[in-house]
Amino acid sequence: MNKSYPRFRRIAQWEGYSYLALLGLAMPLKYLAGIPQAVSIVGSVHGFLFVAMGLLALEVRQEAKHPFTWVITAFLASIIPFGTFFWDRKWKEEEMRG
C-alpha cells in the first residue's frame, strides 16, 4: 500500500483551493481594491502548498513506480485552475489499486 498517496491527494486538494483563492480572491483584491497584501498572504500559502505537492508527487512516483511523466501530469494539474480536482478521481483510483 502506497502511504504517500493520501497525503499527496490531501495537499493537492488544498493546493487547488489556494490557487482558486489566489486567482479569484487575492488578485481581484490587489488590482480592483488596491490591497496588495492579499496576494502576499494567499500567494505565500499557495507557494508552500505547491512545493509540498511537488515533493509529495516525487515521493508517490517513487513508491508507486510511476514514470516521470506522472510527475509532469501532476505539475500540469497544479497550474490549471480546477486541475487538481479533475485529476483527483484518477489519483484515487491509482491509490486504490495500490
Q: How confident is the model at residue 28 (pLDDT cuts 50, 70, 90)?
A: very high
pLDDT in tens, 29-73: 999 999 999 999 999 999 999 999 999 999 999 999 999 999 999
User: Does residue 88 register a pLDDT over 80?
Assistant: yes
Closest CA to 18 of 78, 77, 75, 74: 78
d(CA 19, CA 84): 10
Which single residue is written with the C-alpha cell 508527487?
57
* CB 63 within 8 Å of CB 6: no
Q: Can you give the length of the chain in residues? A: 98
